[in-house]
Amino acid sequence: MGTYLLKRLLYLFPMSFIVVFFSGVMIHFIPGDPVDQIAGDFSSEQERRAIRKNMGLDQPVPLQVLYYFKGVIQGDLGHSLIDHRAVSELILERILPTVELALTSIVLACLVSIPLGAWAAVFKGSKIDSILMLSSLIGLSMPSFLLGPLLILFFSVQMGWLPVSGRSGLSSIILPSIVLSSSLSASLLRMTKVSFLEQLGADYIRTARSKGLGEILIFTRHVFKNAALSITTMIGLQFGALVTGTIITEKVFDWPGLGTLIAESIERRDYPVVQGCVFTFSLFFLLTNLITDLCYFGLDPRIRLARFD
Amino acid sequence: MRSIFLSIIFYCCFFFAGCTQSRSPLEKTFRLAWENVPRSIDPRYTIDADSQYLEDFIHCSLISFDRLGQMTKSLASGMRWIDSKTLEVTLRRGVYFSNNQEITAQDVQANFDFYIKKEGERSPHSANFSDLKSVEVVQKDQLLFHLSQSNGDFTTLLSLGLLPQKLAAGARISDPKKIIGCGAFQIEEWAVGHILLKRRDLNSSKEVKYIHIAFVKDENTRFLKLRNSELDLVQNSINRDQLGRIQDYKHLRLLRAPGMNTTYLGFQYSDPILRDQRVRLAIAHSIDRKKIIEHIFHGWAIPATTILAPFDRYFNPSLKPLKYDVNEAMRLLDAAGFPRKGRDLSEPRFTLKLKTTTNATRLMVAHALAEEFRRVGIALEIESMDWGKFKSDVDQGNAQLWNLNWIGIRGPDIYRFAFSTESIPPYGANRGRVSHPQLDQLVLKARAEIDFEKRRLLYNQAQEIVNEEVPYVFLWHEDQYAVVHQRVKNYELYADGRLVGIENVSFSAEK
């Protein structure tokens, strides 16, 4: 187990570096000059040249990316071209709000979707099942830039229960996490229903029932445990997507996370910050995948044995 | 069960530790929202509008600008030209930095020495000070600016914020805690989503003791925050379509004042079609600006005659605005050798391409222009792109036509910067590659003149040449507008969009 974990952890960095290399090269292909953002309209060509030289922007792109790697290996993600603050500092102050929002959304999605999905599986074909499936369809098809303002209008403006936006106190996370979790909840609900139905029709469940085991025990000890594998895969994959896909929700709710940082940095052609954010996102994805794999070990002894053999 | 409970508590404590609550009392705090975070707190490196607005609160400067954008004295109590190359400035006494150190001529000298130094990291403003040779301290409160050549526009450059001598000579400041300013406010808190400014003199009779600036990226969210009484002011950053609904909300008020920013349609002189003055003039005649103002800006703009607003003291009142005249436009196009084509004359005379940003209002304007051009037989293709690519294309001369806004115009030297041959990018903003020897001479002569009346006459002539030459179609000057909460009293809008009116606001007792 220890060797496997170490091997996976060691893989994290080369994988992230590949992602950063490609993103680093590609961002330079976007037309537009960061010097325009730094120097403004009134600077002279001499000053623009000096800025380009100071920031290493006069070097060929592959060389710039290589210098960036050198810094990353030494633990230095560079400095923002625009406000000159350390990229690591910028990422650190934004990472907590993003993780906080993603985790709250995932917890919310699990709390809502898993019990409801199980319920829909048990009462398959009933009115409750139809209502739940219809709601999940709405959740899947409602874009966050529409759902967000609708929720704000009702809960904040009409009822005055919650703040419109910002990150000030516990109440401010409720609406953004509902919006962020809406599509995840919908797909998780459907996935839970399908997995539970699959297990409920399996031979071992019939055997358990014929042995006289109670429905609650069958459900918690057998069905849930076996269905958990596909649910875990879904949560694992979605968590990565949640962390990186918060841009619109962060914008609507004015949530100061990594999504808005990367969007602003692309707009400003702030290469080091974009690269730093991509590096962080890729680490997130890879770590989430690793944690998901580790969860498989806990859930299914067959996988555990197969991996270690 | 216990472990689950403890995990939940840990999760809440850990994650929500970062959430912040306001540290200022509501009845003394003015709350506003900006779309973007200021890029610099160091006045020597300020280039974006938000940083300039912030600078007005935390820094002071030798001169300032009034509500109509005209120069006024600020820290300077007196200013006079000793000769055409020497400006004497006398400072107001008893003005202190936030570290309680009185501002002296040495401090001012250190600030301007930074802009003219030749080595090390230079300021983006340094190029503006190319005529400044040296700054000499005469007394504790008096100094002389020695110029290498006469420059009547030099005084407008003295509006940059001042730092104490030690900081002014040092490296760029990016830590808000290290900023020492001489403005009425100081930075109390600089967080990821907001800034809190605190009045340096809390015993002052002014009612606004704190200014809370929230960064709200989304236009709808800004409006909803206003509706929910979470903000006192949003200025120029709410969609005009929503302004019509303001009267439905009793706690909100709409303010409006003339603006000095100029929207224009630029022409590329190197283009074989647009090189012909008759074509440019025909295009100018084909645009019904009043109709566009009425429908897209809901009447909240005035047609522009030149780059300067009509209330600018250098504005030439004898300029004749270009009329909307489709027949004249068609006559000019025929005369320029671009007759209508096709059997039933329905084919366009030629096709032009307009580059614009993804900004919704600019795109609407572009589509309105396309419709206007169609009437005179010009086909218009619209290409919208993000700001970085747009700016790069326009600067490099890769745009046949483009629409843009001139903001922050600080004096008539803009005619040299925008239209003289020496200002073709990268040396200035003559993006259309205009080359008019008579205009070049005139703007240089006007710049060197320090007598106001003589300068005014020279710039009046320059404006006449620009009007005949039509390097731009000057479209309109958009009004400044703001949505304010009912509790706010005495807020005044400035023509250049600055927010200094906040300093004199009072709050009404009722909520």
From chain B, the residues in CB contact with A42 under 8 A are 47, 124-125, 127-128, 417
Contact with chain B for residue A32, Cβ under 8 A: yes
Of B221, B391, B426, the CB nearest to A254: B221
From chain B, the residues in CB contact with A101 under 8 A are none
Q: Which of residues 176-215 of A touch B (CB under 8 A)?
A: none
Residue A63: band (very low, low, confident or very high) from pLDDT cuts 50, 70, 90: confident
- In this structure, the answer to whether residues B276 and B394 fall within a common structural domain is yes
10-residue stretch averages of pLDDT, chain B, 511 residues long: 50 50 77 91 90 94 93 94 94 94 96 90 86 94 95 93 94 91 94 92 92 91 91 90 85 93 94 95 96 92 94 92 92 92 79 92 94 94 90 90 89 92 88 94 94 95 95 95 94 93 86 48
Predicted confidence at residue B503, as pLDDT, reads 92
C-alpha distance from B173 to closest chain A C-alpha (Å): 9
Are B397 and B431 spatial neighbours (Cβ–Cβ below 8 Å)?
Answer: yes
Q: Give the residue numbers spanning the domain of B27.
A: 2-34+184-256+482-507
Question: What total of structural domains would you count in chain B?
Answer: 3
Asked if residue B175 is part of any domain, the answer here is: no
Helix then strand then coil, % of chain B, to nearest 5: 35, 25, 45
Closest CA to A56 of A41, A40, A43, A68: A68
Break chain A into its structural domains and give their ranges: 93-308
Q: SS3 of B183, please?
A: coil
Are B394 and B368 spatial neighbours (Cβ–Cβ below 8 Å)?
Answer: no
List the single residue in A with minimal CA-CA distance to B426.
A45
List the single residue in B with minimal CA-CA distance to A156.
B228
Closest CA to B54 of B167, B194, B156, B154: B194
**Does residue A214 register a pLDDT over 90?**
no
Amino acid at B352: L
C-alpha distances out from residue A92 to B207, B261, B509, Å: 37, 39, 42
Per cent of chain A over pLDDT 90 is 7
Asked if residue B179 is part of any domain, the answer here is: no
Query: Which stretches of B342-420 are DSSP H helices?
Result: 360-375, 387-395, 414-419
Q: What is the DSSP letter of B321?
A: P
Contact with chain B for residue A171, Cβ under 8 A: no
List the single residue in A with minimal CA-CA distance to B427.
A44
Chosen domain end from B133, B168, B203: B168
**How is the beta sheet containing B480-485 ordered, strand by strand?**
B185-190, B194-199, B210-215, B29-34, B233-235, B480-485, B252-257
DSSP string over chain A: -HHHHHHHHHHHHHHHHHHHHHHHHHHHHSSS-HHHHHH-TT--HHHHHHHHHHTTTTS-HHHHHHHHHHHHHTT---B-TTT--BHHHHHHHHHHHHHHHHHHHHHHHHHHHHHHHHHHHHTTTSHHHHHHHHHHHHHHHS-HHHHHHHHIIIIIIIS--S-SSSS-SGGGGHHHHHHHHHHHHHHHHHHHHHHHHHHHTSHHHHHHHHTT--HHHIIIIIIHHHHHHHHHHHHHHHHHHHHHT-HHHHHHTT--SHHHHHHHHHHHT-HHHHHHHHHHHHHHHHHHHHHHHHHHHHH-HHHHHHHH-
Cβ <8 Å between A97 and B192: yes
Contact with chain B for residue A82, Cβ under 8 A: yes
Pick the residue of A30, A44, A111 with the most B CBs within 10 A to test the interface with B by mutation: A44
C-alpha distance from A82 to closest chain B C-alpha (Å): 7
CA distance B109 to B10: 55
Counting other chains too, the contacts that B48-53 makes at CB distance below 8 Å and 24 or more residues apart are B49/B407, B49/B408, B49/B497, B52/B408, B52/B498, B53/B497, B53/B498, B53/B499
Predicted confidence at residue A72, as pLDDT, reads 80
From chain A, the residues in CB contact with B125 under 8 A are 42
Per cent of chain A over pLDDT 70 is 96
Are A102 and A235 spatial neighbours (Cβ–Cβ below 8 Å)?
Answer: no
Cβ <8 Å between B391 and A36: yes
CA distance B140 to B106: 7
Query: pLDDT digits over A259-271, tens only?
Result: 889 988 888 888 8
Pick the residue of B228, B355, B383, B389 with the most A CBs within 10 A to test the interface with A by mutation: B228
Query: pLDDT digits over A74-94, tens only?
Result: 878 888 888 888 999 999 989
Mean pLDDT value of segment A141-165: 88
C-alpha distance from A129 to closest chain B C-alpha (Å): 30
From chain B, the residues in CB contact with A174 under 8 A are none
From chain B, the residues in CB contact with A35 under 8 A are none
- In this structure, the answer to whether residues B63 and B107 fall within a common structural domain is yes
CA distance A193 to A200: 10
- In this structure, the answer to whether residues B406 and B325 fall within a common structural domain is yes
- In this structure, the answer to whether residues B70 and B15 fall within a common structural domain is no
- For the ranges A186-195, A200-209, A223-232, B352-361, the maximum mean pLDDT occurs at B352-361
- In this structure, the answer to whether residues B303 and B160 fall within a common structural domain is no
> In CATH, what number is assigned to the domain containing residue B282?
3.10.105.10
Are B129 and B157 spatial neighbours (Cβ–Cβ below 8 Å)?
Answer: yes
Total residues belonging to chain B: 511
**Phi, psi angle pair for B186, to nearest 5°:** -135, 160
Cβ <8 Å between A45 and B427: yes
Does domain A93-308 sit in CATH 3.40.630.30? no
- In this structure, the answer to whether residues B284 and B213 fall within a common structural domain is no
Q: What is the DSSP letter of B411?
A: S
From chain A, the residues in CB contact with B20 under 8 A are 167-168
- In this structure, the answer to whether residues B348 and B454 fall within a common structural domain is yes
- In this structure, the answer to whether residues B66 and B30 fall within a common structural domain is no
Structure tokens at B338: 């671009």
C-alpha distance from B290 to closest chain A C-alpha (Å): 30
- In this structure, the answer to whether residues B308 and B416 fall within a common structural domain is yes
> In CATH, what number is assigned to the domain containing residue B58?
3.90.76.10
Which residues is A148 bridged to in the sheet? none
Dihedral over alpha carbons A101, A107, A110, A112 (to 10 degrees): -80
From chain B, the residues in CB contact with A268 under 8 A are 388
A169: left (phi over 0), alpha (psi -120 to 50) or beta: left
Asked if residue B39 is part of any domain, the answer here is: no
C-alpha distance from B192 to closest chain A C-alpha (Å): 6
- In this structure, the answer to whether residues B221 and B319 fall within a common structural domain is no
Cβ <8 Å between A104 and B15: yes
Contact with chain B for residue A38, Cβ under 8 A: yes
Of A82, A164, A253, the CB nearest to B228: A164
Structure tokens at A77: 């993600």
Other Cβ atoms less than 10 A from the Cβ of A150: the count is: 11
Predicted confidence at residue A160, as pLDDT, reads 87
Asked if residue B396 is part of any domain, the answer here is: yes
> In CATH, what number is assigned to the domain containing residue B12?
3.40.190.10
Predicted confidence at residue B1, as pLDDT, reads 47
- In this structure, the answer to whether residues B119 and B63 fall within a common structural domain is yes
**Does residue A194 register a pLDDT over 50?**
yes
From chain B, the residues in CB contact with A264 under 8 A are 36-37
Q: What is the DSSP letter of B487?
A: T
- In this structure, the answer to whether residues B314 and B441 fall within a common structural domain is yes
Predicted confidence at residue B160, as pLDDT, reads 94
Predicted confidence at residue B114, as pLDDT, reads 94
Chosen domain end from B107, B133, B168: B168
